[in-house]
Amino acid sequence: MIRITILPVILLVILFVTGIFFLTRKKRWFKALGVLLIIVSLAGAIEGIYLYVHSMKALKAIANQTTEITTYGIYVLEDAKIENVEGLEKKTVGFSKDVTTDDLSEALKEYTFKLSSYSSQLELIEGLKNEECVGAVLSTSYINMLEDNEVDVGLGVELRLLEEISIEKVVENPVVVTPKEPFVVYISGKDTWGHISVPSRSDVNILAAVNPETKHILLVSTPRDYYVPLSIAGGAMDKLTHTGIYGIDVSEETMENLYGIDIDHYFKVNFSGFEGLINAMGGITVWSDYEFDVENIGHFSKGENHLMGLPALAFARERYSFPRGDLVRGENQMNVIQSVVQKMTSKSILKNYGNILKECDGTFATDFSSGEIADFVAFQLSNPGEWNIEKLSVGGTGAHSSVYSLGKRAYVMYPNEEDINNARERIQEVLDEE
């Protein structure tokens, strides 16, 4: 439930009671003043109720969003004579054990084909190619990822989709934080447009260590190509960005394992949500250490740049213009987050946060509850002032290694353990501040 700042409520009550008191007086001007005060208090109450309801709806749209929808496809070879799933009756269809949940297993029981298990989706595609099975149940996010990476899905084979199966997965999080306690948030930026509930690659991976008492935030950026053991598939080595196609919980767990810390909550946003948020705020002013151009978007100057949604997105995504590529992109992303935090914590924005959140409906989600968010809004309104935002990037060494999700060698970055240890220590220092 949203906590309403108590001072405005008290003032409205005082106005209303004073108005009633003046109505009891005999003189006309007292009565007139009483009527005016009552009208003002009622108007304020109506506006307050409207803002409360409006903010509550906006909060519910993005808060406590713990459900992800994973879509699986039943595929056959492009040249197969099977036209629909009925054509698979009593035939062998493969599935991958590493991504099959209990809910998917239940859904597959509705079909009349025979099931055969494979250890990975790539092994399943190979089995389909070798005619070990005539159909395959594969994650559509996984297929999209392969296509985006220009991997010849199929190791030289083309697939045709017969039918889709949508499975809802709830990511449980019992953690509750308050404005009096430090906490860690995982910020995941998805590389898609549209609804946020569909898993996709996580191209932005930033940890925010937040200490409300000292108003100190430490942002730690981790490169998308970091070569890390997944929290699934027996710890298979993969790029950090690929964790997103298996769900926000896999991304979060993998980050926890990498840094040896506990993450309390997550924010996830995709291209649509990012653009909508920046536009709803009236744009942001962000610092750039470099002068560069992005084709079809525009020019970015060294120094301060005032950006609306789409240019801000281009600024946060660009990496090819810089010698240090993805590392500079991570720094720019943290600069964007710093600008967003500075603007979002201003009174003018906080008093209108319901309208801003409404713009992000379906494209921005968090497992913070609406009550937790409202508590932080009230805390900032009661304790105005700027936050000290510190930024830190971890690096590594580029190489080419076997990547689990691609089933082939690809560019990766081996983590610099010294950077990881330093980031872990700095996170703990911020959390321990008093």
- The dihedral region occupied by 296, where left means phi > 0, alpha psi between -120 and 50, and beta the remainder, is left
Q: State how beta strands 292-294 and 388-393 pair.
A: unpaired
d(CA 3, CA 374): 6
pLDDT digits (tens, 9 = 90+) for 228-270: 999 998 899 999 999 999 999 999 999 999 999 999 999 888 8
- What's the length of the chain? 434
Q: φ, ψ for residue 290 (rounded to 5)?
A: -130, 155
The percent of residues in the chain predicted with pLDDT above 90, rounded, is 53
User: Does residue 82 carry a pLDDT above 80?
Assistant: yes
Q: What is the pLDDT of residue 249?
A: 92
pTM over 0.95: no
Strand partners, 294: 298
Q: What is the pLDDT of residue 69?
A: 85
Query: CA separation (Å) from 323 to 203, 259, 292, 327?
Result: 19, 27, 12, 9
Q: Work out the mean pLDDT of the chain and round it to a whole number.
A: 83
Q: What is the pLDDT of residue 248?
A: 92
Which region among 45-59, 84-98, 415-429 has the lowest average model confidence (pLDDT)? 45-59
Q: What is the pLDDT of residue 399?
A: 97
Q: What is the pLDDT of residue 46?
A: 40
d(CA 62, CA 386): 25
Which region among 20-24, 266-270, 385-389 has the lowest average model confidence (pLDDT)? 20-24
pLDDT digits (tens, 9 = 90+) for 358-371: 666 666 788 888 78
